Amino acid sequence: MAGVSRESTPVLKLEDLVIKYYTLSGIVHAVRGVSFEVNCRESVCLVGESGSGKSTVGLAIAHALPPNARVSGRILFKGEDVTRLNGKRLSKFVGREVTIIFQDPAATFNPLFTIGEQLMDVLRTHKGGKERDEEELRREAIELLGRVGLPDPERVFKSYPHELSGGMLQRASIAVALSPNPSLLVADEPTTMLDVTLQAQILDLLTRLKEELGLSMLFITHNLGVAAEVCDRVVILYAGKVLEVGSVEEVLLNPLHPYTRKLLECVPRAFKSVGRLKHIPGSLPDPRRPPPGCPFQPRCDEALPECSASMPPLREVRPGHLVACHKYSGQEAGVG
Amino acid sequence: MALLEVVNLVKHFPMRGGLLGRVKAWIRAVDGVSLEVGEDQIVALVGESGSGKTTTARCVLRLYTPTSGKILFMGEDVGRLKGKALKRYRRNVQAVFQNPFLSLNPRMRVEDIVAEPLKAHTKMSRQEIREVVNDLLRKVSLPEDVGGRYPYDLSGGQAQRVAIARAIALKPKLLVLDEPTSALDVSIQAQILNLLVDLKEEMRMSYLLITHDLSVVRYVSDYVYVMYLGKIVEQAPAEEIFTNAQHPYTQALLSAVPEPDPRLKRLRRRVMLKGEPPSAIHVPSGCRLHPRCPYATEECSREEPQLVKVGENHFVRCWRVA
């Protein structure tokens, strides 16, 4: 597209991403043609249950897939294909422009070094170039720890990972992830291991930091409630395929895909009585032998004959709201 | 008479250290908890990590010996049960835990796992046991062929169904459910919750549900106890807790539940707690929540409030309502 300014280029764009794991029991088709983008200063939630491929997508972006994974398709970062980068050019991208935080913050840190030493290592690597004053680095590290809402950052700086609680450690890992001033933060289930009150604190923190720093975020979660708390747009992933994309309000208030609708109906709610919960019978298809056509078709009670024959493309059914479902064929919104 | 009555339960764990293994401190996991579970009732015990909810459950199951306090089951003191009476208690009170892969023996086949309580507690013949086991597997909606499989061959949802089949094999009066759906995906969680609700109706059991997830609590429970740092801070019928919570901790817990409906989210009033729960070794003076409570006053740090009645079956431990 000519004439598109640099600013409107998405920070991250996935084009037909396919990821397979070669295992002893066969090829696992984890991600099967995923395309979506994260725009500048936008936070996008990748929502899916276990086995949907959501974490695999996150790892692929961070170039952290295990060696038995094969990737095809393109990962464009600010318009540049980073899928095949390696060496120096890769390290300019991963860990600098894109950083990632994980579910278990204890696994992020080396248990033998203090939080401060590890944070300063990262700062030294990224901000280095010329010899920097240690004292200046130290001040910067402590300021970062304070910025993520850690009380008494001086003490945290000198602490070993085991001396901090889960919530504090997750805050510290956010500080590490923010230290190179990334453009994109990938957060893979960062609050799943935390208690609800701490989860609320971390979600608030991430929302605040995103505003303050103009960060773009890819948030990976299984929890639709969490998605509603932090995100602008949602991508619904099922068995390695994108089934629905749209703004949080659109998708959660007006879900189009039968899977999204069912998923919302299965969530017990604290703020309203729901009567009997609906549940989705059956379970996810075997990723070694994905069914042809729509992956949700075997569990879908609205399935049409064509659903088992071909995978429907993502269509824009309402403005900005895309769905991959045969039910909506011929219902495209007026887009040229 | 309540089916289960917990009276002033205290469980302190010693923390040992040094060469001689002397007790250096006490972890006050449960610090005076009283609760009741009626017949045919689902009672939820809600709290975050470190609140003592699981320790309370383990005391009820007689996996821990309480430091003090009493647990009465159908009027009998559980702590004094021995021999036959204890065996009868074990039959009447069964448990389902969070992670089915840890609670099922990996070297036993599903049918043997479900048959084990029958072998231990009844004099059924092998043929009878096989029939009952098949019946149980059907009851928890597992396919026929699961019986011959091993736990690793099951999905999380299926494995939890096996754990439930084992727990109901002896037709217990009380099931202790410790975070039974926390390890499952939402679509599977809904299946298991519906199964538990149906089984309770069918078999007229009572449940003591231990969980941190308030949305699950609203869906299944009749009565709710909210626990913080070893104490009950609020108790009320389920609807009352969700519409008229009085304790700041309950309010904070409620307002922290992520809500998928953006319209409801906007109506919600956020009550944020400061920092993190202190350790159960150094329990704060006065009200245990006061260092984190947004409404704390002088008084809160000086003296511990008592549980005060604020409505029908609704009690709160807070100076603001006292």
Three-class DSSP labels, B1-25: CCCEEEEEEEEEEEEEECCCCEEEE
Is there a contact between B262 and A201 if contact means CB atoms under 8 Å apart?
A: no
Name the pTM for this structure: 0.88
Q: How far is B81 from chain A (nearest CA, A)?
A: 36
Distance separating alpha carbons of residues B189 and A281, to the nearest angstrom: 11
- pLDDT for res A143: 94
Q: Angle at the Cα of A188 (from B52 to A283), degrees rounded to 5?
A: 80
Q: How far is B251 from chain A (nearest CA, A)?
A: 10
Is there a contact between B193 and A277 if contact means CB atoms under 8 Å apart?
A: yes
Distance separating alpha carbons of residues B54 and B33, to the nearest angstrom: 12
DSSP A305: G
Q: How far is B88 from chain A (nearest CA, A)?
A: 34
Confidence label for A3 from pLDDT (cuts 50, 70 and 90): very low
Q: Helix, strand or coil for residue B156?
A: helix
- Helical (H) or strand (E) element with A148: none
Tokens of B46: 């809600």
Residue B225 Cα distances to A196, B37, B44, B45, B101, angstroms: 17, 11, 6, 5, 28
Q: Which of B190, B193, B256 sits opposite A200 (nearest CB)?
A: B256
Confidence label for A335 from pLDDT (cuts 50, 70 and 90): very low
Taking the Cβ of residue A261 and every Cβ of chain B, the question of whether any pair is shorter than 8 Å is answered with: no
- pLDDT for res A91: 84
- Helical (H) or strand (E) element with B95: strand B93-96
| Cβ(A313)–Cβ(A326) below 8 Å | no
DSSP B124: -
Q: Looking at chain B, which residue has its C-alpha nearest residue A167?
A: B276
Q: Looking at chain B, which residue has its C-alpha nearest residue A229?
A: B258
Chain B CB contacts of A228 under 8 Å are 258-262, 265
Summarised one tens digit per residue, pLDDT across range A17-56 is 999 999 998 999 999 999 999 999 999 999 999 889 999 9
- pLDDT for res A307: 93
Chain B CB contacts of A149 under 8 Å are none
Contacts of A198 (CB under 8 A, 6+ apart): A166, A167, A170, A191, B48, B276
Q: Looking at chain B, which residue has its C-alpha nearest residue A274?
A: B219
Residue A107 Cα distances to A165, B42, B222, angstroms: 13, 38, 40
Residue A70 Cα distances to A75, A84, A212, angstroms: 14, 12, 37
Contacts 24+ apart (CB under 8 A), B266-274: B268/A271, B270/A200, B272/A200, B272/A201, B272/A204, B273/A197, B273/B248, B273/B249
Chain A CB contacts of B257 under 8 Å are 196, 225, 270-271
Q: Which of A197, A224, A277 sits opposite B194 (nearest CB)?
A: A277
Is there a contact between B187 and A279 if contact means CB atoms under 8 Å apart?
A: yes
> What are the residue ranges in chain B where pLDDT is below 70?
none
Q: Looking at chain B, which residue has its C-alpha nearest residue A149?
A: B275
The count of C-alpha atoms lying within 13 angstroms of the C-alpha of B73, restricted to the half-sphere facing its C-beta, is 23
Taking the Cβ of residue B243 and every Cβ of chain A, the question of whether any pair is shorter than 8 Å is answered with: no
Distance separating alpha carbons of residues B48 and B227, to the nearest angstrom: 8
Confidence label for A128 from pLDDT (cuts 50, 70 and 90): low
Tokens of A76: 């464009």
Distance separating alpha carbons of residues A221 and A230, to the nearest angstrom: 11
Question: Looking only at Cα atoms, what is the longest distance across chain B?
Answer: 69
Is there a contact between A228 and B187 if contact means CB atoms under 8 Å apart?
A: no
- Helical (H) or strand (E) element with A72: strand A69-77
Taking the Cβ of residue A277 and every Cβ of chain B, the question of whether any pair is shorter than 8 Å is answered with: yes
What burial letters (b/e) apply to A203-221, b meaning 16+ CB within 10 Å? bbbbeebbeeeebbbbbbb
- pLDDT for res A5: 47
Residue percentage of chain A with pLDDT more than 70: 95
What burial letters (b/e) apply to B149-178, b meaning 16+ CB within 10 Å? bebeebbbbbbbbbbbbbbbbbebbbbbbb
Q: How far is B156 from chain A (nearest CA, A)?
A: 10
> Residue A66: is it exposed, middle or buried by C-beta count within 10 angstroms (0-12/13-18/19+)?
exposed
Tokens of B43: 């009672």
Summarised one tens digit per residue, pLDDT across range A58-92 is 999 999 899 999 999 999 999 989 988 888 888 88
Pairing of strands B4-17, B42-46: unpaired
Distance separating alpha carbons of residues B85 and B95, to the nearest angstrom: 18
Q: Which of B194, B242, B261 sits opposite A252 (nearest CB)?
A: B261
Chain B CB contacts of A266 under 8 Å are 186-187, 189-190
pLDDT value at A1 more than 70: no
Is there a contact between B276 and A168 if contact means CB atoms under 8 Å apart?
A: yes
- pLDDT for res A94: 87
Distance separating alpha carbons of residues A247 and A253, to the nearest angstrom: 10
B 170-199 residues with CB < 8 A to A: 185-191, 193-194, 197
Chain A CB contacts of B259 under 8 Å are 225, 228-229, 269-271
CB pairs under 8 A between A and B: 129
pLDDT value at A2 more than 60: no
Ordered DSSP codes for A187-255: EESTTTTS-HHHHHHHHHHHHHHHHHHT-EEEEEES-HHHHHHH-SEEEEEETTEEEEEEEHHHHHHS-
* Interface mutation target, options B49, B98, B181, B186, chain A, most CBs of A under 10 Å: B186
- CA nearest neighbour of A248 among A7, A43, A38, A80: A43
Q: Which of A222, A271, A283 sits opposite B259 (nearest CB)?
A: A271
> Residue B53: is it exposed, middle or buried by C-beta count within 10 angstroms (0-12/13-18/19+)?
buried
Taking the Cβ of residue B216 and every Cβ of chain A, the question of whether any pair is shorter than 8 Å is answered with: yes
Taking the Cβ of residue A221 and every Cβ of chain B, the question of whether any pair is shorter than 8 Å is answered with: no
Chain A CB contacts of B185 under 8 Å are 49-50, 222
pLDDT value at A173 more than 70: yes
| Cβ(B307)–Cβ(B276) below 8 Å | no
Summarised one tens digit per residue, pLDDT across range A318-327 is 999 999 999 9
Over range A8-25, report the average pLDDT: 93
For B123, other C-beta atoms within 10 Å of its C-beta total 7
Taking the Cβ of residue A165 and every Cβ of chain B, the question of whether any pair is shorter than 8 Å is answered with: yes
Q: How many residues does chain A have?
A: 336
Summarised one tens digit per residue, pLDDT across range B41-74 is 999 999 988 899 999 999 999 999 999 999 999 9
Taking the Cβ of residue B47 and every Cβ of chain A, the question of whether any pair is shorter than 8 Å is answered with: no
Residues B190, B196, B198, B200: what is their CA dihedral angle, to the nearest 10 degrees? -160
Tokens of A305: 């004959």
Chain A CB contacts of B262 under 8 Å are 228, 248-249, 252-253
Taking the Cβ of residue A199 and every Cβ of chain B, the question of whether any pair is shorter than 8 Å is answered with: yes
If you average pLDDT over every residue of chain A, what do you get?
90
